[in-house]
A = this chain, B = another copy of it.
Amino acid sequence: MPTPRQQPRRYRQVADELRRRIEAGTTPPGALLPSESTLMAEFSVARGTVREALALLRSEGLVLTEVGRGTYARPIVPVRRVASDRYRKELEQVRSGELGTSFTVDQQVDWSAYSLDKEFREVPATAAIADLFGVEPGTMLLERHFLFRTHGVPQQMSVSRMPLELVAGTPIAVPENEPWPGGNTAQLHSLGHTVTSIRERPTWRMPTQEETEALRIPGGVSVVVITRQTYVHDWVAEVAHIVMRADRVELDYLIHLD
């Protein structure tokens, strides 16, 4: 039996007290915590100890840190539900001729409230991507990089790829046609292909430097990365990687059994 520590670690004591204040509402969402030097004085600990305590709270998702500004309680933000039935809705919209994309469905924003940066490239498939498509490595792809914003705020980065052979010379290969009403589903529909299923594999990790800058992610916040394969029967028509702030999304998958 390990002897329980007589003295709980100081950094945990500090973290516990700060957590208590946040949960009690003494430090309401969005409010700045005391600065590191203030906390050093308040708890009579070294700065390293204060920083350990704050790192713990960051890893719990309770606080965010921004340089020059400070550490603050996680603000309440509307969390975006990324539901599996969004693709069904998208398909219905396409068939009925309505506007929208799965992005606008998730965000519940008007089509007009979002904008995106886009960059198209023609690249050979890496081994990993070729595997997801089920083609030979080196097969040429149209790779489309997007940065979505709502009301000017960056929300989502994605890379979507389609076989170049499929889209070369079509309106899909023209960046100016994005955003395309109805999204991928509509694009494939315009080529005569109806999406039959979508496979999504979500993973979580810390953001890369590029992602931190592009999505303006504060310290301690991780990202969700969804690897998506768009199927037309057994054929993979599109492979995408979608990156979002983990604290702004809630994934929701409904599995029908009957």
Stoichiometry, as copies per complex, reads 2
Q: Is the CB of A253 within 8 A of B206?
A: no
Interface stretch among A135-143, A175-183, A197-205?
A: A197-205
Q: A222 at interface (Cβ–Cβ under 8 A)?
A: yes
Q: A88 at interface (Cβ–Cβ under 8 A)?
A: yes
* 0 or 1 for each of A226-258: is its CB under 8 Å from B? (1 = yes): 000000000000000000001000111111111
Alpha-carbon distance A224/B246, docked complex (angstroms): 13
Q: Is the CB of A195 within 8 A of B254?
A: no
Q: A66 at interface (Cβ–Cβ under 8 A)?
A: no
Q: A87 at interface (Cβ–Cβ under 8 A)?
A: yes
Q: A126 at interface (Cβ–Cβ under 8 A)?
A: no
Q: Is the CB of B60 within 8 A of A253?
A: no
| Residue in contact with A255 in the complex, picked from B61, B200, B205, B222, CB distance below 8 Å | B200
Alpha-carbon distance A206/B246, docked complex (angstroms): 13
Alpha-carbon distance A131/B61, docked complex (angstroms): 23
State the Cβ distance, A74 to closest chain B Cβ, in Å.
13
Which B residues touch A203, using CB under 8 A? 250-251
| Residue in contact with A202 in the complex, picked from B91, B202, B205, B255, CB distance below 8 Å | B202
Q: Is the CB of A255 within 8 A of B84?
A: yes
Which B residues touch A246, using CB under 8 A? 204
Q: Is the CB of A87 within 8 A of B48?
A: no
Alpha-carbon distance A214/B201, docked complex (angstroms): 27
Alpha-carbon distance A222/B224, docked complex (angstroms): 13
| Residue in contact with A254 in the complex, picked from B60, B197, B202, B250, CB distance below 8 Å | B197
Q: A13 at interface (Cβ–Cβ under 8 A)?
A: no
Q: Is the CB of A197 within 8 A of B253?
A: no
A-B complex: 10 closest residue pairs judged by Cβ atoms: A204-B204, A198-B255, A59-B206, A253-B253, A84-B255, A200-B253, A196-B258, A197-B256, A199-B254, A201-B252
Residues of A participating in the B interface, judged by any CB pair closer than 8 Å: 48, 59-61, 84-85, 87-88, 91, 194-206, 222, 224, 246, 250-258
Q: List 10 A-B contacts (CB under 8 A).
A: A48-B48, A61-B205, A194-B258, A197-B257, A199-B252, A199-B253, A200-B252, A201-B251, A202-B202, A202-B253
